[in-house]
Amino acid sequence: MRHPFIVSLCVTGAFVLAGCEQGIDTEAVDREFQGVNVIDGTNLNEVMLSVSDPNEAVTYFQRASTAEPDRIDLSRGLAVSLIRAKRHTEGVAAWARVVDNDASTNDDRVELADALIRNKEWDRAETALNAIPPTHETYKRYRLEAMIADSKQQWDKADSFYETAVGLTTTPASVMNNWGFSKLTRGDYSGAERLFTEAIRNDGSLFTAKNNLVLARGARGNYVLPVVPMTQIERAELLHTLGLAAIKKGDVVTGQGLLREAIDTHPQHFEAASRSLKALENNIVN
């Protein structure tokens, strides 16, 4: 049985080893790489998207898409990499170019809307989603629809979209966290607490949901940490959050105690909590 992928890697490796002695002939490498079969190229693209530093992936896909501008998979790779690198303005432009390609799909249009939201272009994101047929029902599409409804304070629509999104994924923790934060901003603290708890039940490592849960409890004057899985460092950070929530609510003495407990709990020096406590004590003295 032949192994073209291994052979192609060995050939490419030969150029690299030769370069150690006399400098790499980049033109020769490029010519050799053009001979790599489509499966090999696809594997490399997947590697660059999944494990590479995002900025290195951007450089790779910029060169690859410039060399083969008609390949939409390379254009997609560039757009994904730019968003991973948090270069959102460039990412929007890259996804727009993908959508302009005749081979683009409705999933590409959803990704464009996602990039626009990340770039705080809410109106353009709504326009992009409205251009997608209603028959295209995906988790990501409804999650973005919910976020746009949130931004317009259309709470009933947001709840409906969030509920639909939760039903379309087997990993609903992040969307439950978003939905809970939506409830938190509306002042529905008990609803927010329920959703954050469900998010943590689905993903015990989701620290944002734990932190948001503490904020929801603090807003109701409940300054007891919830019974959820947490490390010692997470416990200290949650106590810090709870202390700040208590101070914001006017329960200064309780907040002071929680900040001290956070500092004592943290296994290292807890700079953020120490600064908060010092600022509070200076303010009390003055």
Q: pTM for the complete prediction? A: 0.79
Domain ranges of the chain: 231-286
Q: What is the mean pLDDT of residues 45-59?
A: 85
Predicted confidence (pLDDT) per residue in 114-164, tens digit: 999 999 999 999 999 999 999 999 999 999 999 999 999 999 999 999 999
What 3-state class would DSSP assign to 128?
helix
Indicate the helix (H) or strand (E) that contains 229: none
Distance CA 244, CA 12 (A): 56
Predicted confidence (pLDDT) per residue in 83-109, tens digit: 999 999 999 999 999 999 999 999 999
